[in-house]
Amino acid sequence: MSKSVFIVEREANLRLSLSYLLERKGYQVRALEDGDAGAAAVSEAPPDLVLLGIDLDMRGGFDLCQCFRADPACKDMKIIFLTSKARSVERGKGLALGANAYITKPFANADLLAQVASVLET
C-alpha cells in the first residue's frame, strides 16, 4: 500500500507543486491550508508523514507538532518541518519538539523527495 502524506502549507502555489511532486512519486497526498484544518485531518486518520509549515493561519506549526507528539494515536507518524524560518535556533526548536527533519525554503525538489523517502524508511 502506498504511504500517505499530508501537506500543511499556507502558500497555495507551493501546495500545488508539492502535491504534484509527491503524487508523481506514488504517495497518497492531502493538502491543507491552515493549522486547524491540518489538526482536524490528522485526528481523523493520521498519515505516515506530515509536511508541516510553521507560520500557519489559525494554529502554528510548532504548536501542532507538540500536540501530535503528545497524542498516542500519532506515535508512528513522521513530521518534517518545511519552513522559511532558517535560523539554527528555530531548527533546534523544531527538532526539540519532536520533528524528524527540518527543511528550509527554498529547497531543491530532488532533495525534498529524498528527505521524505528517507524519513519514511526509518
Partner 1 sequence: MRIRRRLLNTFLIAGIGAGATVGGLTWHFAELAAAQGADDLREQILMFGAGGGAALLALLAVLGSALDRALTVPLTGLARGLKTSLHANPDHEIDGDAAAELGELSGAVLDAISAMAQGRAKLSAQIDDATQGIAVEKDRLEAVLRDLHEGVIICNLNHQILLYNHRAVELLHVSGEIGLGRSLFRFTNRQPFLHALERLNNRLIDGRGESRGLTAPFVASTSAGDVTLQCKMTLLTAEANEPSSYVITFDDRTHELAELGRRDHLLRQATDGMRRPLANLRAAAEILVEDPPDEPVLQQKFQQVVRDESHILSVAMEEISAEFREIITGHWPMTDIYSANLLNAAVRRLREDKGIEAIMTGVPHWLYGDSYTLLELLHFLAHAVQKVTGASMFDFEASGADGMVAVEIIWSGPAVSETNVQGWLSQQLDEALGGITVRGVLDRHRTDLWSLSGEDGRARIRLPLTAGQTEGELARGNLPARPEFYDFSLLNPDSHHEGLGSRPLKSLTYVVFDTETTGLKPSEGDEMISIAGVRVVNGRIMTGESFSRLIHPGREIPKSSIRFHGITDDMVEDQPSHDVILSEFHRYVDDAVLVAHNAAFDMKFLKLKEQATGVVFDNPVLDTLLLSVYLHDHIESHTLDAIAERFGVGVDAETRHTALGDSLVTAALFMKMIDLLEANGITTLDQARDAASKMVEVRKQQEQF
State the residues that interact with partner 1 by CB under 8 A: 11, 13-14, 16-18, 20-21, 24, 59-60, 62-63, 65-67, 84-87, 89-90, 92-93, 96-97, 104-110
Three-state secondary-structure class, residue 77: coil
Closest CB 7 distance from partner 1, rounded Å: 12
Closest CB 8 distance from partner 1, rounded Å: 15
Closest CB 96 distance from partner 1, rounded Å: 6
CA pair distance 33, 60, nearest whole angstrom: 12
**Is the omega angle on the peptide bond into residue 46 within 30 degrees of 0, that is, cis?**
no
Nearer to partner 1, 37 or 54 (CB): 54
Contacts of 6 (CB under 8 A, 6+ apart): 29, 30, 31, 32, 38, 41, 42, 47, 49, 50, 51
CA pair distance 13, 2, nearest whole angstrom: 25
Nearer to partner 1, 34 or 60 (CB): 60
Nearer to partner 1, 20 or 45 (CB): 20
CA pair distance 90, 12, nearest whole angstrom: 24
Nearer to partner 1, 34 or 90 (CB): 90
Closest CB 63 distance from partner 1, rounded Å: 4
